[in-house]
Every structure is written in C-alpha cells, then in structure tokens.
Chains A and B, each alone.
Chain A
C-alpha cells in the first residue's frame, strides 16, 4: 500500500504566487488533515476534513484553502504565498475522527522567497 502520498517534496515559490500541495491516501480513511511544522516547533493544524464534502479550520487557517471532493484526495491551496508560509507541510489521515492511529505523508518543504 502507498499509504499517504504528498507531492511535491520540495517547492520554491515567489511571494504572491499560488500553488496547490497534493495529498492522497489509499486506505479509505474518512479523516484527513494538514499541518505545518516550523523549525524547532510542533505540528500546527491548518485545516481538516471528516469526510468528502466536509472541511473545517484548524489553528492557523489564514492564507490556505482546502477542498475534499473525494475520499482519497485533500489538496491544500496557497492563495498568495508569503515568506511567513515557508515551512514543512504534512498531510495526515486516519480511519475516523475518533480514537484511531494517524498516518502521515513524507512532507513538503516549501520555501517562499
């Protein structure tokens, strides 16, 4: 099984550019979420989804959009990139919102110049 796949692994953007970070899982998981991890810091929740068609905001949602049109995919869109969005982004999925193990992708390292 592929598990959780994130693309790209590395990306450099110019300030003001937009892009989409892709996340796909093949485990038929209902719950998916996006996190950012800054150097020396923990995982901060950006957005999450409890199923296709349902999304909600996490701790740091500003500057990011998400959608969940299928169970498998949960893309994260940066609308107008800013240097403050330089970070490592992780996508995670779990079987449900409750009491189950989370599986993570390998991360996307994003640099905004």
Chain B
C-alpha cells in the first residue's frame, strides 16, 4: 500500500469495448491486490482480488493481472456494459492500514 496511484483518472469507452485501469504502489511488502467498485451513492464493494503468488485471475468479464517486480497491477474489463459505469479503486495491502488508490471514473456509453 502506502503511495498508491491509479491511471487513468477518467476513462470513457463505448459499450462493448475493453477497459484497463492500472494501479502502482510503493510498498514492497504488499501481498494482496483487490479492486473495488463504487456505484453512485454507495460504498465501495470488492469485485476481484489476487494474491501475490498468482499472476492473473479472471472472473467472467473482469480480470486482474499482477506484476510484483514492477509494483503494479491492472484491472481489465472486457465487453463493457453501461452498468460497468462507476468509480474503481485499487487497495494493495500487506500488514498495514488500508489505503485506497486515487480512483478511476469509468463511463461506458451505449
């Protein structure tokens, strides 16, 4: 965790396109790499996570890839749908306080 950045801060795609959000972190002790989705007026909710002994994990249209050497991991959403429109946060974690990335606003246009 500690210094956590996300790119891009805003992402606009057409329905059916793919979206990729990247998260970089500074703490080499991080070993848990989740992504959260926050819909309007709600609290964030976990959508996918990966642990440091795995390089990639997939769950239907979403996937997370991890490059621990370079200290970054990415969220991939394929075949985007309007209901994917939300703010996405990463929160890499080791044995310390829970700090979130800067957030990415994804807008999927029909």
Closest residue of A by beta carbon distance from B51:
A99
The answer, among A41, A43, A106, for a CB contact under 8 Å with B42, is A106
The answer, among B89, B98, B103, for a CB contact under 8 Å with A94, is B98
Q: Are A97 and B46 in contact (CB under 8 A)?
A: no
Q: A106 vs B95: C-alpha distance in the bound complex, in angstroms?
A: 26
User: What residues on A are CB-neighbors of B49 within 8 Å?
Assistant: 101
Assuming the A-B contacts A41-B103, A42-B89, A107-B42, are A102 and B97 also in contact, with contact meaning beta carbons closer than 8 angstroms in the complex? no
Assuming the A-B contacts A42-B89, A100-B32, are A90 and B97 also in contact, with contact meaning beta carbons closer than 8 angstroms in the complex? no
Q: Are B89 and A107 in contact (CB under 8 A)?
A: no
Q: Are A43 and B44 in contact (CB under 8 A)?
A: yes
A58-88 CB contacts (< 8 Å) to partner B: 58-59
Closest residue of A by beta carbon distance from B30:
A99
Q: A42 vs B99: C-alpha distance in the bound complex, in angstroms?
A: 10
Closest residue of A by beta carbon distance from B96:
A97
Assuming the A-B contacts A42-B100, A90-B43, are A98 and B89 also in contact, with contact meaning beta carbons closer than 8 angstroms in the complex? no
Which B residues are closer than 8 A to A by beta carbons? Answer: 31-32, 34, 36, 41-46, 49, 51, 89, 91, 93-103
